[in-house]
Amino acid sequence: MGARREAHEALAAAGLRPRKRWGQHFLCDPAVAQRIVDAAALGPDSVVLEIGPGLGALTDELAARAARLYLVEIDRGLTARLAARYAERPHVRVLQGDVLTLPLDELVAEPSATVVANLPYNISTPVVFRLLELRRRFPRAILTLQREVAVRLASPPGRATYGVTSVLVQAFAEVRLRFAVSRRSFFPRPQIDSTVVELAWTAAPRVEIGDVRLFTSVVRAAFGQRRKMLRNALGGLMTGKGLSAAAGRALYTRAGIDPAARAEQLDLAAFGRLARVLSEAPSQVTRPDDPPQH
Ligand code: SAM
**Cα separation, 1 vs 6, whole angstroms:** 9
Higher pLDDT, 11 or 37: 37
Q: Whose CA is nearest to atom 12 of ligand 1?
A: 52
Alpha helices in the chain (DSSP H): 2-13, 30-39, 59-65, 76-85, 104-107, 124-133, 147-154, 164-170, 212-224, 230-233, 235-240, 245-255, 268-280
Q: Is the CB–ligand 1 distance for residue 99 below 6 Å?
A: yes
- pLDDT-above-70 percentage for the chain: 96
Q: Is the CB–ligand 1 distance for residue 52 below 6 Å?
A: yes
Atom of ligand 1 at shortest distance to CA of 100? 23
Average pLDDT over residues 114-132: 97
Higher pLDDT, 78 or 246: 78
Q: Is the CB–ligand 1 distance for residue 27 below 6 Å?
A: yes
Find the 200 Cα to ligand 1 centroid distance in Å.
22
Q: Is the CB–ligand 1 distance for residue 98 below 6 Å?
A: yes
**Cα separation, 34 vs 56, whole angstroms:** 12
Find the 120 Cα to ligand 1 centroid distance in Å.
5
Q: Whose CA is nearest to atom 14 of ligand 1?
A: 54
Q: Whose CA is nearest to atom 17 of ligand 1?
A: 52
Atom of ligand 1 at shortest distance to CA of 52? 12
Q: Is the CB–ligand 1 distance for residue 127 below 6 Å?
A: no
pTM, rounded to two decimals? 0.93
**Domains of the chain (ranges plus CATH)?**
2-201 (3.40.50.150), 212-280 (1.10.8.100)
Grade residue 11 by pLDDT with cuts at 50, 70 and 90: confident
Tell me what pLDDT residue 283 has: 64
Average pLDDT over residues 95-105: 98
**Cα separation, 207 vs 38, whole angstroms:** 30
Q: Is the CB–ligand 1 distance for residue 22 below 6 Å?
A: yes
Per the CB < 8 A criterion, the answer to whether 101 and 133 are in contact is no
Find the 163 Cα to ligand 1 centroid distance in Å.
26
Q: Whose CA is nearest to atom 5 of ligand 1?
A: 26
Which helix (DSSP H) or strand (DSSP E) does residue 287 occupy?
none
**Cα separation, 234 vs 230, whole angstroms:** 6
Q: Is the CB–ligand 1 distance for residue 75 below 6 Å?
A: yes
- pLDDT-above-90 percentage for the chain: 83
Find the 48 Cα to ligand 1 centroid distance in Å.
16
Neighbours of 143 (CB within 10 A): 26
Atom of ligand 1 at shortest distance to CA of 102? 24
Tell me what pLDDT residue 284 has: 55
Pocket-testing residue among 75, 101, 107, ligand 1, by greatest number of atoms within 8 A of Cβ: 75
Mean confidence (pLDDT) of the chain: 93
Find the 30 Cα to ligand 1 centroid distance in Å.
17
Tell me what pLDDT residue 285 has: 46
Higher pLDDT, 5 or 48: 48
